[in-house]
Amino acid sequence: MRDRTSSVARAGRSPAAASLDLVCCSAEHRRLVVAVDVAARGPASIPWQALDPSVGLDAAAARLARERLGRAPAWIAALGAFGDQRKHPSQAALSVGYVAVVPMGTAAPVGMVWADVTDLPALPARQAAMVTAAVSALRDRMDLVPIAFRLLPSEFTLSELQEMYELLLGRRLHKASFRRALQGAYLVEPTDSWRSEGRGRPAQLFRYAPRRRRGHRRSVRFELLT
Amino acid sequence: MRDRTSSVARAGRSPAAASLDLVCCSAEHRRLVVAVDVAARGPASIPWQALDPSVGLDAAAARLARERLGRAPAWIAALGAFGDQRKHPSQAALSVGYVAVVPMGTAAPVGMVWADVTDLPALPARQAAMVTAAVSALRDRMDLVPIAFRLLPSEFTLSELQEMYELLLGRRLHKASFRRALQGAYLVEPTDSWRSEGRGRPAQLFRYAPRRRRGHRRSVRFELLT
DNA sequence: GACTTTAGTAGCTAGTCGATACTTATTAGG
DNA sequence: CCTAATAAGTATCGACTAGCTACTAAAGTC
């Protein structure tokens, strides 16, 4: 009985001091999507609960994800604190956001739908800001953390992997260069399986299996935008 | 009268629901340093205040920085929410952290000292975690945001700039490569001044003056650590 | 069996990165 | 004054990288 309703509407007490919100991302039809709750009466929202001060933030977020998704996310990370936008279903002045990722093909839990991040339903302002921040976080961290791999099933073709990178980067990549870089990074290993999907030559399936490689330190990059 | 004492110790009321904390970084003697409050009775701490729900987070952090540093920071950004460590001077269950940067050479405000981040005094656990996160944030964002330039005075030599990058990266850089990359980025412009400091040839002074350059998209990097 | 489609590879070229080695300008010291 | 020392700044070379065009391979379609 530790769900949203019981925490917030617990009689006439004042609303919780803070909320914990989850932006759960996945991919579908070559689109980045986010889990949106449409079952409840009232407007759409992303999963949230009142923040329980007696539980650690990371643990609470992991549990919220498990409860609302029906499975442990493939990846989860803190997004930050949000309070500059006033509107939030909890009425709390402060919200703590987390991003999670589940593999593409995961069915949306009952009462929820996968919404294209470029075409979201109307969300409370603070939650909309969290979704924007989550997408940026995925893009920013994708080459430090294996986010693209978490968005794929455990076995995948190199073309699928490249498509996922293209989706996250928002631009096309060159096939040969992509594979050369991937080879040099020792991140995947081939399986014995092949997948033939309609036309064309069948593709070999790979799995994510990073090997320790010598610490090739990257050079200074002046990518300053402003 | 909007300082820490009045907010927290305001009679017998319960402690604030959340605190706002500031990790203010600078550089000194080729070391990254952070502003630590040592004046108050009790153990050392970094600046903080009870979070006022009626003010926006960013605005409140900017004001906290101005008030406690005596000047506007050269850069400030959100760090995130912290609640997994229990110990915090406010007793609040939740804290929101911000990182700020002031140029090297800025005098420490009264009651505060610059403490080497690699040799910190004992801080409340949650604040110590914030300092660690702040240093990581500076390192992670330094090539997207001009953090090194904000840590320097408005005019600087290229050797000083390189030292600052080396400080943030934690490793030595090659002089010619560094300057070549800098040149290609169109980030600095020379001034008419030269600085001769003891021995050796005088160095020309530069200022940060980024020019729009064509959007040279960077290639995919597989820097995955795990 | 020719054509289409997709997977995967090879080789060329332009540019990048780091090293060594050099020139220039100043102070220190005889 | 002349030389050594020190630090700023430049030039050039070779290894490596990234992206391009073009190719081969294996399946389905007609």
CA B120 from chain center: how many Å? 15
Q: What is the interface size between A and B, counted as CB pairs within 8 Å?
A: 124
Residue range A105-127: mean pLDDT, rounded = 94
A83 interaction partners in chain B (CB closer than 8 Å):
53, 56-57, 96
Give the closest of B144, B169, B223 to A224, CB-based.
B144
Nucleotides of C under 7 A from a protein CB: 4-11, 16-21, 24-28
Q: B146 and chain A: CB distance < 8 Å anywhere?
A: yes
B121 and B159, same domain (yes or no): no
B204 and B161, same domain (yes or no): yes
B144 interaction partners in chain A (CB closer than 8 Å):
223-225
Residue range A36-48: mean pLDDT, rounded = 88
A131 and A23, same domain (yes or no): yes
B93 and B158, same domain (yes or no): no
Give the closest of A17, A58, A224 to B146, CB-based.
A224
Range of lowest pLDDT (A11-15, A32-36, A192-196): A11-15
A100 and A158, same domain (yes or no): no
Q: A78 lies in a domain?
A: yes
A186 by Cβ neighbours in 10 Å (0-12 / 13-18 / 19+) ranks as: middle
A154 CA – D16 C1', rounded, Å = 33
- Helices B125-141 and B158-169: crossing angle in degrees, nearest 10, is 130
Give the Cβ contact number of residue A157 at 10 Å.
18
Which residue out of A98, A220, A223 would a mutagenesis test of the B interface target, given it has the greatest number of B Cβ atoms within 10 Å? A220
A116 and A21, same domain (yes or no): yes
Q: A93 and chain B: CB distance < 8 Å anywhere?
A: yes
The reported pLDDT for the residue numbered B8 is: 40
Per the CB < 8 Å rule, is B182 touching A222?
yes
Give the domain extent around A64: 4-141
Total domains present in chain B: 2
- Helices B175-185 and B158-169: crossing angle in degrees, nearest 10, is 100
Q: B49 lies in a domain?
A: yes
Q: Is the CB of B1 under 7 A from strand D?
A: no
Residue range A40-57: mean pLDDT, rounded = 90
The reported pLDDT for the residue numbered A5 is: 43
Q: B165 and chain A: CB distance < 8 Å anywhere?
A: yes
A49 by Cβ neighbours in 10 Å (0-12 / 13-18 / 19+) ranks as: buried
The reported pLDDT for the residue numbered A7 is: 40
- CA B144 to CA B85: how far, in whole Å? 30
B95 and B137, same domain (yes or no): yes
Please report where in the chains the tokens 């403490």 appear, as a residue. Answer: B115
Per the CB < 8 Å rule, is A17 touching B82?
no
Last residue of a domain, one of A110, A141, A172: A141
Q: Is the CB of B172 under 7 A from strand D?
A: no
What does strand C contact on the protein, if contact means CB under 7 A?
A 157-159, 175-176, 179, 198-204, 217, 219-221; B 174-177, 180-181, 184, 194, 196, 198-202
CATH assignment at residue B164: 1.10.10.10
The reported pLDDT for the residue numbered B216 is: 67
Please state the φ and ψ torsions of residue A106, each to the nearest 5 degrees.
-65, 130
B116 CA – D22 C1', rounded, Å = 57
Q: A223 lies in a domain?
A: no
Is residue B114 predicted with pLDDT exceeding 70?
yes
B35: DSSP letter: E
The reported pLDDT for the residue numbered A10 is: 40
A36 and A58, same domain (yes or no): yes
A8 and A109, same domain (yes or no): yes
For A151-175, how does the pLDDT look when each residue is reduced to its tens digit (9 = 90+)?
Answer: 999 999 999 999 999 999 999 999 9
- CA A135 to CA A144: how far, in whole Å? 15
Banded pLDDT at A148 (limits 50, 70, 90)? very high
A25 and A54, same domain (yes or no): yes
Is residue B226 predicted with pLDDT exceeding 90?
no
B184 and B135, same domain (yes or no): no
Give the closest of A56, A94, A178 to B18, CB-based.
A94
